[in-house]
Amino acid sequence: MSSSSDFQQDRHSFSGSPQKWNDFELPGDTLYYRFTSDMSNTEWGYKFTVTAGHLGRFQTGFEILKQMLSEDRVVPHLPLAKIWEWQVGVACRQTGHQRLKAIHLLLKIVQCSAQRDCDLTLLKPLWQLFTHMENNLCHDVAKPGILLPLHRALAELFFVTENRVTELGSLQEYLLALNTEDHLHRCTAQ
């Protein structure tokens, strides 16, 4: 197997039992392979699986979805409600840069979605993370004015989402769906 038709670049040769085969990666988007039998026995041959995307599943999916959401002619054909649901789940499960990238995609979906494409109440776990960060920011007077990238990304997501639900005339329902009863009691008491 190789990344070139002359089998000179990134060449990997295997022979014998399947235990002798190792996983490997090839650069590029094309795989060339040649199977040669020595006719020494009557086995079936070899079976192998090719998986695209050397960047890793998250990074590959992020790049593809980001590009699709950037194409105005593609967006109307996307199942935005389902993608929204999946992406909220990804943003809740990931950490670090992957969470930031997932939030970036959520922001793009909010900006390009039609009126009721996305169930915005699914953002509740991210809202709770955001309010927790807000509460900690208020208590941490040692570092005034410094927001972490995640905090900034969530602030932008909720700012844009709030504007979206205001346009739709459902701000009150949205805010009630995101908050817990305890939080509403604390806000009322304040």
Of the candidates 124, 132, 168, the one whose C-alpha atom is nearest the C-alpha of residue 150 is 132
Using the CB atoms, write b or e for 20-55: b if 16+ within 10 Å.
eeeeeebeeeeeeeeeeeeeeeeeeeeeeeeeeeee
Taking only the tens place, the pLDDT of each residue in 136-185 is 776 555 555 556 888 899 999 999 988 888 888 888 888 888 887 777 77
Of the candidates 88, 120, 118, the one whose C-alpha atom is nearest the C-alpha of residue 103 is 88
**Residue 164 and residue 146: Cα distance in Å, rounded?**
27
Taking only the tens place, the pLDDT of each residue in 81-137 is 899 999 998 898 888 888 899 999 999 998 887 656 788 888 999 988 888 888 777
